[in-house]
Structure 1
Amino acid sequence: MADDPTLADDIERFARLRAISTATLTTVLLKQGLRNVFMRGTRPLDPGSPRVVGRAFTLRFVPAREDLATPASWASPVSTRAAIEAMPSGCVAVVDAMGNTDAGIFGDILCGRMRQRGVAALVTDGALRDVKGVRETGLPVWSRGAAAPPSVSALTFVDWQKPIACGGVAVFPDDLVSLDEGGAVLVPAALLDAVIAEAVAQERIEDWIMGEVRQGVALPGLYPMNEDTRARYLRETGGA
């Protein structure tokens, strides 16, 4: 695995992405024509969680159907348990719960197993149960809240590693997900390198602008930059 060029590339990309806020990513993606990349309603279980980046491993629930959504289904070959055992280390589990918060999709045992398998984070537009225990697993979680009832009281698990919707965003397996206190943002896999390059440049520009603000410079012509300010920025930074 250490000699895998794709893995080596991802390690470098993720290191660069972890230095970029979700706020910057949404701005850069907007310039690329993508407006619908913010997974609505997803918030960190622990607001102080560090930024997490990883490739999406998708899971999907549909509304509960009484003959399928039963405790016995947890032992089925098509189950959340089986999906967790297929998750690769470093992935971000992205779960489509249709925004339903009447039941908790995962609790401490399933989150503990994900953490043990090296899953980087869990993000869902649904709810979690056993929240205290989930926190104790150390798995970073972004969700819409907490609910005591088990998943089968409101949802039926149907598949994994297929396109899903999460928080109103289309998520495909292996898309990139960035998570921080601002929420969860999707970066389409095909645009990753272009987005990283532009986002790094944007962060540098905004750091310089923030320095100007601290010195008392007025915003008009500074943010956004006019031609004179941009020329001064290039002179002072060498364009770096």
Structure 2
Amino acid sequence: MAGHYVVRNVTRAAPEVVAGLREAGVATAHEAAGRIGLADPAIRPRQDGAAIAGSAVTVSSHPGDNLMIHAAVEMCQEGDILVVTTTSPSTDGMFGDLLATSLRARGVAGLVTDAGVRDIATLRAMGFPVWARAVSAQGTVKASPGSVNVPVVCGGQVVRAGDVIIADDDGVMCVPRATAPDVLAASRARVAGEADKRAKLESGVLGVDMYGLRDLLDRLGVRYVDELPEDGA
């Protein structure tokens, strides 16, 4: 449907599912989901050590214009993650410390954007985490219509309002709300399996033995030798 909209009603994932996926983290959830949903690694964490998950509030903005980000703040609830995209590529600093102050007052967990942010030192000092394609002092205007809580594409991934966003030092992942409980269950199973593997590796077991890789290496023609063979051997 053509037009510009601010959609008020968002169906969010259960809080315990969101919390579980935050604990699992991006790398584990990505593997558990079948290696889908990972955003372009160019959308980078702009601080160290932050790990968040939350329901997406989405913004589709005109490049170089942050009007719709301001409109989106009212739609945010505690624990949400604001996901901002532009209708064509942009690295302008569309988000800074004043918007972060407004979002933090509503309990928003953080920002993910396919565009740029600025005031990055202040954002770090505030402890408001952002994942962004760029850091740029280039300012923006407030003049062009866009939409809030419509499907968007962020970092190559379709994000719908209410989908679960996971973001940490490994990047950003989108989990569709409908599949989030299944991804959480698979993530927990994976974490349990990794605990057993970690214990074996700590005891000195080699990965090539634990994963049964010696036969694979042999089939691939990888030879163990004490010295490099003569040329032509």
TM-score by structure 1 length? 0.76
Paired position in structure 2 for 1:29: 33
1:67-82 correspondence runs (5 A): 74=67, 79-82=68-71
Q: Which amino acid aligns with 2:25?
A: S
Is contact 2:57-2:72 (8 Å) kept?
no
Paired position in structure 1 for 2:130: 141
1:14-163 correspondence runs (5 A): 14-30=18-34, 35-49=36-50, 51-63=51-63, 74=67, 79-97=68-86, 98-101=88-91, 103-152=92-141, 156=144, 158-163=146-151
Rg larger for: 2
Indicate how the Cα distance of structure 1 residues 12 and 20 shifts in structure 2: closer, same or farther if over 3 A, else same.
same
SS of equivalent residue, structure 2 residue 77: coil
List runs of 5+ in structure 1 lacking aligned partners: 1-5, 226-240
Verify: 1:215 aligned to 2:203, yes or no: yes
1:155-200 C-alpha deviation (Å, 9 max, x unpaired) = 9561110000111110000000111110111111111111111110
Runs of 4+ in structure 1 off by over 6 angstroms are none
Q: CA deviation at 1:151?
A: 2.6
SS of equivalent residue, structure 1 residue 151: coil
For 1:80 and 1:224, locate their aligned partners in 2 and report how far apart those are by CA, in whole Å: 51
Q: CA deviation at 1:120?
A: 0.8
SS of equivalent residue, structure 1 residue 90: coil
Indicate how the Cα distance of structure 1 residues 57 and 113 shifts in structure 2: closer, same or farther if over 3 A, else same.
same
Give the count of matched residue pairs: 202
Q: Which amino acid aligns with 2:74?
A: E
For 1:196 and 1:211, locate their aligned partners in 2 and report how far apart those are by CA, in whole Å: 23
Q: Which has the higher helix share?
A: 1
Q: CA deviation at 1:96?
A: 0.9
Identity %: 31
For 1:43 and 1:211, locate their aligned partners in 2 and report how far apart those are by CA, in whole Å: 32
What RMSD, in angstroms, separates the aligned Cα atoms of the two structures?
2.5
Is contact 1:99-1:167 (8 Å) kept?
no
For 1:57 and 1:186, locate their aligned partners in 2 and report how far apart those are by CA, in whole Å: 12
Paired position in structure 1 for 2:153: 165
Is contact 2:85-2:152 (8 Å) kept?
yes
For 2:208 and 2:59, locate their aligned partners in 1 and report how far apart those are by CA, in whole Å: 46
Paired position in structure 2 for 1:228: none
For 1:108 and 1:17, locate their aligned partners in 2 and report how far apart those are by CA, in whole Å: 27
Paired position in structure 2 for 1:229: none
1:39-67 C-alpha deviation (Å, 9 max, x unpaired) = 43122211122x21100000112346xxx
SS of equivalent residue, structure 1 residue 118: coil
1:73-125 C-alpha deviation (Å, 9 max, x unpaired) = 85xxxx32221122111100011135521x11111111111011110110112
